[in-house]
Amino acid sequence: MSQPVELPPPITALQAAEALGLSDPDAAEGVAHMVNGAIAACGALMRAAGRETTDAPPPRIPASVLRELLELRELHHAARVYYERYAQDEADSASNCVTAEQHRDAKALRDALAAVRDSEIRRGAFKAAEPQQEFILVP
C-alpha cells in the first residue's frame, strides 16, 4: 500500500497578497479562496481514486506573537474608549480644541480607529447572526 498524500495547508489572504504583490484585500481573499478550493478538490479526487490523504499540520504561532496581539487588542480597546469618552468632540469641531494640533490629533485618532473597524468588518470579525430560515418540504 502506498504512503498517504500530504495535502498542503490552506493559505491566508495575507499570504496570497504577499506572494502575488496584491494590494486589494478583496482580490487577495479571492485568490486564497480559489487556492484553498483547489487544494480541497485535489484531496477529494485523490480520495475518490482510493488514495489516502492527510492534512499538513497547521503552522504554529509563537507565543510572543500571540502576547503582542493581545496587547494590541487591549491598546485598541483603550484608545476607542478614550476617543468615545473624551476626544470625539475635539475631532468633530476645532472650536472644541485649545489648539489646531489638538484637533488634528483627535481627527487622526478617529481616522485610525475607523480604519481598524473597516478592516475588522472586511475580514468578517463582526458577522451578524443570520435569521433562521424556514424550509417548506414539498411532497
DSSP string, 36-55: HHHHHHHHHHHHHTT--EEE
Confidence of residue 106 (pLDDT cuts 50, 70, 90): very high
So what's the pLDDT on residue 78?
93
So what's the pLDDT on residue 57?
67
Q: Say what percent of the chain tops pLDDT 90.
A: 30
So what's the pLDDT on residue 134?
58
So what's the pLDDT on residue 54?
86
Evaluate if residue 70 carries a pLDDT over 90: no
Strand positions, DSSP E, the chain: 5-7, 53-55
So what's the pLDDT on residue 2?
77
| Residue range 56-67, pLDDT digits in tens | 766 677 778 778
So what's the pLDDT on residue 59?
65
So what's the pLDDT on residue 51?
87
The reported pTM is 0.48
C-alpha cell at 39: 487544494
